[in-house]
Structure formats: structure tokens, C-alpha cells
Amino acid sequence: MEHFPEAWGRPRNDIYGPYDHSYLQTTGPKAHTQSPAVTGTSVIGVKFNGGVAIASDNLASYGSLARFTDVKRLRVFGDSAIVGFGGDVSDMQHIDRLLNSIDIRENYSSDGNLLNAKNLHTYLSKVFYKRRSEFNPLWNHILVAGFDGDGKPFLSSADLLGTTFSAPHLATGFGAHLAIPILRRLFPEDTPLENISKEQAVEALRECIKVLWYRDARSLDKFSIATVTKDGIEVKEDEKVEAQSWAFAETIRGYGAQVN
């Protein structure tokens, strides 16, 4: 019989060892976010003749759980840029608020000086870099699509470390592994932009989303796709992967129930 009432209901010291008080410690190093919580994965983007196309599925995962299945991870900024978010969804919401307040500020004056996608990307990469330098990163990997100051199609990425990277086609998350090779085969590096039409670009993105749905366990068959051209932004947020065929799954060996 345990004679100390304060110990009643607690794990027994003689079996579990004494209580580890370090869990309640308030001193010691201060820790910020160590890992993201609810996350989105792939965002993929392709430049084409006269604009940029960008796509992402509508999933937000909680670990391996498909927690939210109707999350819009493509955010429109003004009438000339789209930001696609991979990574932590609450950090995405925070950045979305930042974008909102910038948009309001930019529209105080109607003089026509507006931030383009390139300006926006520069700004966001600085935000990421500042936060990681404070050891309190915003856990995202983003793509920014739109136009640069010369009116040329612009596509660039920034991540939680403040790293920036630009290429004619880009992807975040699993898409970086699965979609990029497909896009590189479709549009080899030396393809001039003039040879890629908007329809081709959009078709390629749909194909990539389908492959991701087939092979990435943290993906979804519901997705959003958007294009930025001189005529404006077109966003479709409730797309579905069409013409699915899981026949290839039969040939996969080494997983699931079958042994050989």
C-alpha cells in the first residue's frame, strides 16, 4: 500500500522509475517549431509562351492522415501573381494574411505602381530568411508564378530556409521527385518558351498531378490549377483526376499482401 496520498494514481516508482521532472522544466534552451503539423505537399509550375501554369492538389495531411480534403493551396495576389504553398498549412495562412495586408497597402494609391510576381517572390524569400535566422521558420516551400518587371513569364521558388531557385518548371514536395522528370522529358531544358503553348503546359500539369496521385501516398485526386497570362488569372479549384487506371499497380512487387 502506498501511504503517500500525493503519489496515488501515479506510475509506481519501483516499477517505472522516478518521475522525470525535466519534462516540466521551464529553463533551458527555447525551442520554436521543430516540425510542421498539418501539411500540403506538391505544387508544380510550368512556364509557357505568354504566361505560367501552376497546380497543386487540395489535400492537407496531418502526418499520414488525409485530414482536410478541400484546401486551396493556390493563393491569388492582385491580378498578376499566384503563390502555391507546400508545407505547413497554418504558416500558409499566416503568409496569406501578410499578402493580404500588402495588397491593401499597394492599393492605397491608384497610381499604377503594383508589385509584380518577381517583387513578391523577393519579398517572400526575405520573410522566410528572416524567420529562419530567428530559428523560428515558416515551414513552407512555395512557388510564385506571374510576370517580372519586363513583362516576361516568371516562376520561382522559395523555401523555409530562404533558399530561392528558378527554372522553367518547378515543383515542391514529392513533386520535386516525381513531376520534374516528367516535365523535363516533355519540355527539355533547351526548349524555347515560344514552343510551349498554354494548353500543353496545362495538360502536362494534369498529367503530373495524376502521376502524383498514383504514386505519392500524401496526395489527392482533387486539385486546383491556375494560369497567369497577360489577360489575367484563371483559377479552377475543384478539378478531379480523370481517366484513372490502376492497372500498373498489378505489376508492382514488394508491397502489400503479395510476397514474391
Contact residues: another protein, CB under 8 A: 38, 60, 68-71, 89-90, 93, 96-97, 100-101, 104-105, 107-115, 118-120, 122-123, 126, 149-150
33 or 90: whose CB is closer to another protein? 90
Minimum Å gap between C-beta 10 and another protein is: 39
Angstrom distance (rounded) from CA 69 to CA 61: 8
123 or 214: whose CB is closer to another protein? 123
Angstrom distance (rounded) from CA 159 to CA 105: 25
Angstrom distance (rounded) from CA 199 to CA 221: 20
Burial of residue 122, with CB atoms counted within 10 A of its CB: 0-12 exposed, 13-18 middle, 19 or more buried: middle
95 or 225: whose CB is closer to another protein? 95
Angstrom distance (rounded) from CA 75 to CA 220: 18
Minimum Å gap between C-beta 151 and another protein is: 11
Name the amino acid, one letter, at 211.
V
Angstrom distance (rounded) from CA 29 to CA 48: 48
Known catalytic residues are 33
Minimum Å gap between C-beta 91 and another protein is: 11
Angstrom distance (rounded) from CA 156 to CA 81: 12
10 or 97: whose CB is closer to another protein? 97
Q: Which three cell numbers stand for residue 133?
A: 535566422
150 or 250: whose CB is closer to another protein? 150
Q: Which three cell numbers stand for residue 107?
A: 492599393
Angstrom distance (rounded) from CA 221 to CA 240: 6
Minimum Å gap between C-beta 109 and another protein is: 6
3-state SS, residue 15: helix
Minimum Å gap between C-beta 171 and another protein is: 22
Whole-Å CA distances, 45 to 29, 60, 123, 165, 199: 40, 19, 20, 13, 13
